[in-house]
A and B are shown apart, each in its own frame.
Chain A
Amino acid sequence: MELDPVLLSRIQFALNISFHILFPTITIGLAYFIIYFRVRYTLTRDPHWDFIYTFWVKVFALTFALGVVTGIVMSFQFGTNWPGFMEQAGNIAGPLLGYEVLTAFFLEASFLGIMLFGKSRVSNRLHLISTIVVALGTTLSAFWILSLNSWMQTPTGYTYDGDAMIVESWLAVIFNPSFPYRFAHMMVACLLTASFLVAGVSAWRTLRKVDGPATARVMRTAVIAAALLIPVQIFLGDLHGLNTLKHQPAKVAAIEAVWETERGAALTLFGFPDETARTTHAAIKVPKLGSLILTHEWDGELKGLNEFIGEHPPVAPVFWSFRIMVGVGMLMLLISWLAVWQYWRRGALGLNTLRALFAMTFSGWVAVLAGWYVTEIGRQPWIVSGLIKTADVVADHPAGTVLTTLVAYSVIYTFLLISYIGALFYMSSKPAQSLLHMHNYGLPGRHPEDQAFSKQPIGGQ
């Protein structure tokens, strides 16, 4: 079989970015939970909140480290694998990535030191501020990268002579038409991913009977956050969909597998899109609903794939990814509302709910990855919508070289993912009592109250 270096490069890039995105998704969301834990501790001086904070900061640190190292890979991949993209769109992509480094990377990397190891070296107020600064850094990072990604989806504010792009208006580039929706959708996705991670780990601690009062508290926080956030996410997703319909109708046509332009289109719940036959096999359809959801009108017109022959994305992966994302979202809605209802009616979660929450520990990852596949595969064959094709900008490495590095990346990433999940549950399986003595380094120290806390038994009442 002839190996195609372009395809291999694309697989490698997809692998790198898929693996990378797992970790910022958690750190961006978890950062805000950690601020909440810290604020609760600052207000109440209740050692349980301090314990919760300390535990989740460790998870944060581990996740952050994986995000950093895989992020460095991403920063090199632009040059090693997509030099043509940088030559043509470098005047836009370069500065946006540069602002990410300047405003976000250094900020989070520097203040993370204080957040992790500085509790006893700075005042409580400064430590709280550092925690907030780290969250701000992670959010800024998302801001710039999503601005660039959105610009690649809906480019505005430039002139292009077929050779290189020159910026006309930076405001129009940064705040391009799809950016607000994508940024809001992603931020809530991060918070939801963190909610289910926190809930899942807490459920596991409860099931393993290594929990204490702290676990119950953090569980309640996580499920309430999830229950409140998921309707917001559905609302934002709907707005994002309307925006995509306006600017990238080919993507929406692929998501819904609409083969021919029609009015009052049905919604395909399930089926097997077949691009050669240009039909969806075994389709289960709800009449008119497709038009209603996408255009908010019963008889709204949906452009079909027939209008974009040769320039629309592969249908099946986009169609399926979208349904996985929505399906996981529905599960999240169901389980978080059930949990809140149980708290309200019985004051505690049932065994099956705990099991379900544990099973959904990484549900956020599934939804986020599926959502990104919709976005990124949905943009194909373009790397910048309507302007630059992906196949034209790839580096011409020999297929063997790319295959070798691809295999090496796959091995390392698989090993890291197993180690990450292993370490997470290893840390989580420690009884609350012994966890207190598992601080990293440098925590006991100059503040007498910290000394007192470390000697106080917590969690095993």
Chain B
Amino acid sequence: MGKFLKKYCFEIILILPLTLYIMYFTLVPVLETIRLGFLDGATNEFSLSNYNYLFGRDDFRKAFFNTVVIALLGLIAQLTVGLTLALMLKRAFKGKGIFRALILTPMGIPTIVSGVALLYIFDTQGYFNEVLYRGSEALKYLGLISETYRFIPIDWAEGGMRTILLVVFGDMWKVTPIVTLLLLAGLESIPGTVYEAARIDGASMWQTFTNITLPLLKPAITMTVVLRAVDLFRIFELPMILARKSTPVLATFAFEEYRVYNNPNVSGAASTILLVIIFTFILLYLKYVDKGEGLA
């Protein structure tokens, strides 16, 4: 042991500050949160009362459901759009650079700012409702429908599925550039000779996509899924701005419990549940979908 310390003394000194910081400001707090979740707020003794309380509460069950649905829908939507864009950007055409730069624009927009922009678009008096209104007016003018605004304006932040879709859309707008870049990097690492061979064998575009592109893209897809899933489950800013109380997610729920109701123990329990969900999802994905092929 002493020998080891002496030999690697230099390395240990250089790496020590980082290690200590992460231990003290990340690992210790996380353990503290888990401990808080198992303490009863009134008696300060170990108990499951916070968990019983949480699962008995309607808005917690809603937050749980919303978080999972937002994460799954978000993953599907982001992968689909990201992959579509990556495939289109992989083709060679004139002005490709301009499109690439324009599509990456949301990366330069802070999340909270994208939330504000969406607030204007999906407000009851917002631009999306105005588009719907003008569209339906046009249809009425053409005689295709007789009644228009029974369903307009739509309150997108009212709660339920439409608000979930709003949050999913908001997150997608913000992160699609990153998903696109990650997948594009994966696409570009597939050697062109493989495609050439497929073409000579007369494979159709669909066959090429399912038999070559998708399997070879698996590592990139896994990396994207893992990175995005973590952030989708932890989603906080967008629901905070766009949905508020109508559509709580676990993160906003935990925040309100602490800040508004001054209930750190319940907040800790909710955060612990969120932590468990994230770990479970990642492990299940790596075990059953990726099967250890991607992360290598």
Q: Do A and B bind each other?
A: no
- Chain A interface residues (CB < 8 Å from chain B): none
- Chain B interface residues (CB < 8 Å from chain A): none
